[in-house]
Amino acid sequence: MHDLLRTIIAYVLILGILVFIHELGHYLAARWRGVKVETFSIGFGPALRRWYDKSGTEWRLSAIPLGGYVKPHGFEGPDDATDEQKAAWIPGRTFHDKPVGSRALVIVMGPVFNFLFAIVAFTLLFATVGKPELRNDISQVVAGSAAEKAGVKTGDVITRIGSLSIAGPEDVMGTVASHPNDTTTLGIRRNGTDLTLPVTIGAVKGGSHATGVLGVGFAASPGHPVSPVKAAVMGVQETWTMSVRTLQGVWQILSGQRSPKELGGTIRIAQMSGQVASYGMASIVSFMALLSINLGLINLFPIPVLDGGRLIFYAVEAIKGRPVSRRVQEVSMQVGMALIGALFLFSTVNDLTNIGLFHWMFHTGS
């Protein structure tokens, strides 16, 4: 019960902070461009608590902690607004009346603030505790493991698993975990020579779900605090590196190089939140930085419901000199909602499978 409570509290706090950062980007950009903000909500559904600031913005803490939103004044255009909404518009303060560049700025600043948060978080970590590094060379080969049977030795560097290039130890662990019992090859660099070793990845059962294991270990070099300036540079570099790796992982799933079972959703984020909460503040901050990067990137995907989809509409408007037709926007939004719904459902099924729920249901029902 203690672990469950810690998981729930950590998840709500971590996600709440990251959603606040994202929506704060929208809010500040809207205020900067002269748009009145009607609502700033953390969470969805009925408001648990609400208050108003001097500018008339309603701030909410809502019941369902799965996101949040900022509602600019006049966000709905003249074609979508009711007569009552139009009568309440304040001239010069509506979102739809602003130039396309201002509207795009309001939308893009949400993801931008997620990346800025990641940079600040990494900077603080590197300036206070340094940056621990997993070394690329293998420090341990477990006796009887898949790696030992394949002929892997300490000091080897894994450069490829099957056709998939490997960037480091994290890639090794992530790729192996999603391919239990697969027969493939390892690209190995040993003393400056490249080798190819056939291997059958091992598996560890957890309920109905198997996780791939190779049986190798990597040593970590302890980090050392650096100057604030160097930490800031490293923070930018780390944010860029993590962003590129995340996009590479998405592409590898879409292209079939990685299993779609690696996609996690709300339940997995909650599980990981609870785990990192037990490791200390440095782990929490690092996890929040990585999650913030993912949140920023996901929102930039060109799906109409997301920020990236709206930016596509504004780019077309800027080029053509007129907004995308209402019909196209409506159909695109419906398709976008269907895609997001399907992705949420798929990732939730993955999460429930990983925790063995379906195995438990079918086992107890038989």
Residues carrying an active site annotation: 23
Q: What is the secondary structure of 266-294 as a DSSP string?
A: HHHHHHHHHHHHTT-HHHHHHHHHHHHHH
H or E stretch covering 171: helix 169-177
Separation CA 225–CA 82 (nearest Å): 57
Separation CA 212–CA 179 (nearest Å): 5
Instruction: For residue 281, give Cα distances in angstroms to 68, 125, 131, 286, 288.
Output: 25, 10, 14, 9, 10
- The closest alpha carbon to 246, from 181, 163, 160, 170, belongs to 170
Cα angle for residues 185, 189, 195 (degrees, 5° grid) = 45
Report residue 144 as tokens. Answer: 């009887």
HEC string of 11-35 equals HHHHHHHHHHHHHHHHHHHHHHCCC
Report residue 304 as tokens. Answer: 């109409």
Separation CA 15–CA 126 (nearest Å): 23
Report residue 86 as tokens. Answer: 């139009």
**Which residues are CB-neighbours of 231 under 8 A, at least 6 positions away?**
122, 123, 124, 125, 126, 127, 225
Per DSSP, the three-state class of 48 is: strand
